[in-house]
Amino acid sequence: MDEVGRGPLAGPVVAAAVVFPVGVKPIRGLDDSKVLTAAQRAKFAVTIRQRAVAVAIGAASVREIDRLNIRRASILAMARALRHLGFVPAHILIDGLPCPELGCPHEAIVDGDARCHSIAAASVIAKTIRDYLMDRLAARHPGYYWETNKGYCTPEHLDALQRLGPTRHHRYTFAPVAQLELLTISRAL
């Protein structure tokens, strides 16, 4: 399993669980989603879905991120992905540090998306889904450049926040958005 979207100022955090059959050959060229282009990720996502026994997605909303914090929301997204599998895998590998809150035995691998084939596959699936969601939100909220920045803190996104203000898809507990809200409140007083 892996998740994407911990750092952006907008949009959900998305997790994916990918289960390959025992002994499956690694997909040549598959790597951490962060080092692949969007076109490569799309191609790999198709291959992953063809070769996997199961693929499941889970997400946590912006409201959940703001209410719980990003770490707990990420674990919630992973738990949802696991539940959507419909069965409990024999062995669970996750990217990063151990998550006892996940509520099931697992092995955590730091930089797992770069070191483990199945985690890299989950990374690609999660990234393609989250990017798709951000592209759809970009169409509804033009001016934030989510079609290119995917909600991350880029100069263009920060400029749009200054000009247009935050949307309901922004994470109000994240510093740049929270600072804008404080400025708005202080100007009103």
Residue-level pLDDT, tens digit, the chain, 189 residues: 999 999 999 999 999 999 999 889 999 999 999 999 999 999 999 999 999 999 999 999 999 999 999 999 999 999 999 999 989 898 899 999 999 999 899 999 999 999 999 999 999 999 999 999 999 999 999 999 999 999 999 999 999 999 999 999 999 999 889 888 665 555 555
pLDDT for residue 147: 97
DSSP track, 11-70: S-EEEEEEEPPTTPPPPTT---GGGS-HHHHHHHHHHHHHH-SEEEEEEE-HHHHHHH-H
Report the alpha-carbon distance of residue 58 to residue 74 in Å, rounded: 9
Run of H or E including 94: strand 93-95
pLDDT for residue 188: 57
pLDDT for residue 130: 98
pLDDT for residue 36: 96
pLDDT for residue 37: 96
